[in-house]
Chain A
């Protein structure tokens, strides 16, 4: 008797969950809903953000939008910075997610879009026809429809410490470097700094897989993440291993076991150069202001290139950050939500973002001016060039297999950089795993 109760409960549970699954993916509103939102009625839409205390961009966008549209209030809800997607997925599954939520990277954008958790916003996108390519909208387009609007587009450059360059007697980057130039300069810097009595090294390579793989994928012609052939990674890894074995940068093993942070390595002048994303500018300025980082002269240089053919418009990588609309949103709020999305991709929002050191998706001279007007941002010509001129390719191509492949490549990264496995062996292993797990 007890057993059948348990069975009955089980069946009920499963059925209700399956039905729940149905309803949360539908996203369509009941056909019976009546008036569309009259723009005059005050509306509140909810927006997901993270680390609100230390990440001002969400509140800033909400406030800036409210000034222009006093009838619409955007309420920011706090999520966890490192586990944002886990929380968001749980909320979407349970139907308690906010109206608008951030697309943190393209890998998870695919998950949301494919799972029917993003509303079609092609009408918003079309109002930007003139600047569509500047916005990087293609990243959010699937089958001809757009599902999110980007508001920031980070790119990777090289940060360099001018004071350490001077101490080592090495010339600053001139914007025409290839990776071989970067490598030899790092070695030069290391011996020059040693000669000058400094303990700093020529370069610092952070432990993430993207530091090597992002560039390799973006810059190597015909490199394809989904092909199962990862030999394009080999030359980049050879150079990284060369740098760490020659002592020009801290080894991967030391960096991971000592939990080195890139902010402290560059900020406290332990390394003269560092490839890193554009988000670090705001952090570095803030840390120099509050004393966590040293005060020194630094600059931005465009990313080193595969070869000298792309020096005019340097190729680099970076995923956009955008906002998408939860299809479960109340019908009456849709217009307000779309208005917000239109705002965040526009020039006014971009200038506001640039004013706090964030690299917006919308590019224009006015935006560049606003960015470099910020106190602490290096104002030399090369930095301006690095910021404004680049061909940024996405780090994560849109596909159901991307997440799995990135995991496989992450394992290859740790195997290679910890020198547990030679480069060629790890690369072919990654290809074999990709075949086995995904691409069959």
Chain B
């Protein structure tokens, strides 16, 4: 069986140049195109199915409150209440919520990505005693459900006077084990020869981290950035406990304020939810190519 020999670049035999790498030449162009069209149709149907809830959310954001939940499901509103999109800015503090959520998401993401990747380098590339045990401790905390230690954590945060400030959420989320774990796994895919070569060239470990590891792990960094951003953006339980004053509410908290004791303005909740998904969708669509066009070469020359 073919064994992988990564150290050398390979020249393609002349006879293979021009041959489409993914298809053997026995299929006719027509059947290939039909296959592709069918594939696209299948993908489109799947995408439609996957996007269905968002479509309902969008449609519901244009209904009246009592028309959101009906039997049977109303996919298209009877009357389009476009004013909901105006009302939500007037009736609620959407701008403040957006601002707070953005601040939190950016701060937490930046801190998680940098301290996490920094720590991950230490865990993956440097051997020191107790390393594996410490890493297991990190992993272990992921395994503990947050509800369980939420109250002791809250007491601790209140004692150091962080609760009811945006700093509380930043502090809580920025130093989690998730980022460390993710980056460590990606650093492990980078062959040791690279670092060895750099060390021989006289680079310090910090230099290796900055000059070699970071650029190589752009896809992983991009993933971590996106995932941390999304998690912070959608976080509800954390802000519920720590962000009490209305001035520091995030979007998720603010939307819940439309659920009163005896009534709920569901249409506006849907409007707010749609508005809160849009920034992320845009960021994703724009940024997702970083997952593909990350590394140009593996840097391994013969």
The chain A residues found within 8 Å of chain B, CB to CB, are 2-3, 13, 16-17, 20, 50-51, 53-55, 77-83, 86-87, 89-90, 93-96, 250, 254, 258-261, 263-264, 267-268, 279-280, 282-283, 286-287, 291-293
Contact = CB atoms under 8 A, between A and B. Distances in A.
A79 B246 CA distance: 9
A349 B22 CA distance: 79
B73 interface: yes
A96 B66 contact: no
Nearest to A16: B159
A54 B256 CA distance: 12
Interface residues of B, number: 35
A250 B154 contact: no
Contacts, number: 97
A55 B151 contact: no
A20 B154 CA distance: 12
Contact of A86 (B73, B241, B245, B266): B241
B244 A78 contact: yes
Contact of B240 (A53, A87, A250): A87
Ordered nearest first, which 6 A-B pairs have the shortest CB separation? A94-B158, A264-B66, A54-B260, A51-B260, A259-B69, A81-B261
Nearest to A259: B69
B163 interface: yes
Nearest to B266: A261
Given A2-B130, A90-B154, A258 B259 contact: no
B155 A94 contact: yes
A261 B67 CA distance: 10
B3 interface: no
B264 interface: yes
A258 B164 CA distance: 36
Given A20-B159, A260-B69, A268-B66, A94 B154 contact: yes
Interface of B: 64-67, 69-71, 73, 130, 134, 150-152, 154-156, 158-159, 163-164, 240-241, 244-246, 253, 256-257, 259-264, 266
A283 B71 CA distance: 22
B240 A261 contact: no
A101 to B, nearest CB: 13
A87 B71 contact: no
Most chain A CB inside 10 Å of its own CB: which residue of B66, B150, B244:
B66
Contacts of A292: 64-66
A261 B266 CA distance: 10
A254 B71 CA distance: 8
Contacts of B156: 13, 17
A287 B264 CA distance: 11
B154 A93 contact: yes
Nearest to A267: B66
Contacts of A291: 64
B263 A258 contact: no
Contacts of A81: 259-261
A14 to B, nearest CB: 9
B163 A94 contact: yes
A261 B260 CA distance: 13
A349 to B, nearest CB: 19
Contact of B151 (A78, A90, A279, A286): A90
